[in-house]
């Protein structure tokens, strides 16, 4: 059976997350339903990451096995036609080897978190950023983030229901960009690692926001990490500011 890799963009607002659910809309369910319109029978696709309810993606990757030998461009066009009006799009499609696996072949994942500090309510982007009204200190958040880069036990920054076998992960990079707005500031956190724990990014950003608001000193983040205790974490950031932006593989299937 031919295997295809799909690069997927979606707005997670109307979905209960990536993973298919019996009684709620999901991104996986929407794509599998579109596949069923092209080839009869049940379809099961595998993704690089199972994003939570309300989380978005610009570079999610999944793979699907089909019976017909599709031209990748025609397959993506057909899927996009049948995905309407759901806020999901196939932005690239490629034929891949049978041993390619969207999740297990991945060697890197990148996330973006958008945090906006301004008094006036967000209108156009209220479902795609996390807005806070207090002023934030970007330099303090960068100083705190530096403590988290590297190989650590991230028990403090993972959900209690996380199913990962180990809380030990290597966080390769955290960068923070400040973007001046007419009446506020947008902070863009970019995180890179081979893999992430459940709620790790949102837990980190929520904690760093407390540093930016000067409720925590930067050094308190190092102490929270060392505690290896979920109760030492700051508030978990809401999902709407989070985006899965890229998944890396030894060989780029879309090159």
What is the per-residue pLDDT across 211-248, written as a single tens digit (0 to 9) for each?
999 999 999 999 999 999 999 999 999 999 999 999 99
Q: Percent of the chain beyond pLDDT 70?
A: 100
Q: How far apart are CA 23 and CA 29, in angstroms?
A: 11
Which tens digits make up the pLDDT trace of 59-118? Answer: 999 999 999 999 999 999 999 999 999 999 999 999 999 999 999 999 999 999 999 999
- The predicted pLDDT at position 41 comes to 81
CATH architecture of 108-246: 2-Layer Sandwich (3.30)
- The predicted pLDDT at position 12 comes to 98
Which fold is adopted by the domain 3-105? Alpha-Beta Plaits (3.30.70)
First to last CA, the chain: 22
Same fold, 3-105 and 108-246: yes
How much is the pTM? 0.96
The answer to whether the CB of 10 falls within 8 A of the CB of 50 is no
Q: Write down the domain spans for the chain.
A: 3-105, 108-246
DSSP summary character for residue 52: P
Q: How far apart are CA 167 and CA 184, in angstroms?
A: 36
Catalytic residues: 52
Distance from the Cα of residue 112 to its chain's centroid: 7
């Amino acid at each position: 059976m031919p295997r295809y890799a799909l690069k997927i963009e979606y707005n997670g607002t109307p979905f209960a997350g990536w993973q298919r659910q019996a009684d709620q809309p999901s991104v996986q369910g929407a794509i599998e339903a579109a596949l069923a319109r092209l080839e009869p029978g049940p379809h099961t696709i595998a993704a690089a990451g199972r994003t939570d309810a309300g989380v978005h993606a610009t570079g999610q990757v999944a793979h699907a096995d089909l019976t017909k030998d599709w031209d990748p461009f025609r397959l993506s066009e057909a899927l996009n036609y049948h995905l309407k009006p759901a806020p999901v799009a196939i932005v690239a499609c490629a034929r891949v080897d049978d041993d390619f696996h969207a999740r297990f072949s991945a060697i890197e994942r990148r996330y973006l978190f958008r945090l906006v500090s301004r008094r006036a309510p967000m209108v156009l982007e209220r479902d795609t950023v996390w807005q806070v009204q207090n002023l934030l200190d970007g330099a303090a958040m960068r100083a705190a983030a530096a403590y988290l880069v590297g190989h650590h036990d991230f028990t403090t920054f993972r959900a209690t229901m996380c199913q990962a076998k180990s809380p030990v992960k290597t966080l390769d990079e955290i960068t923070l960009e400040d973007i001046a707005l007419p009446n506020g500031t947008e902070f863009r956190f970019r995180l890179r690692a081979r893999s992430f724990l459940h709620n790790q990014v949102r837990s980190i950003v929520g904690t760093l926001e407390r540093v930016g608001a000067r409720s925590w000193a930067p050094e308190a983040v190092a102490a929270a990490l060392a505690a290896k205790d979920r109760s030492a974490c700051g508030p978990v950031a809401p999902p709407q500011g989070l985006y899965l932006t890229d998944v890396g593989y030894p060989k780029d299937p879309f090159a």
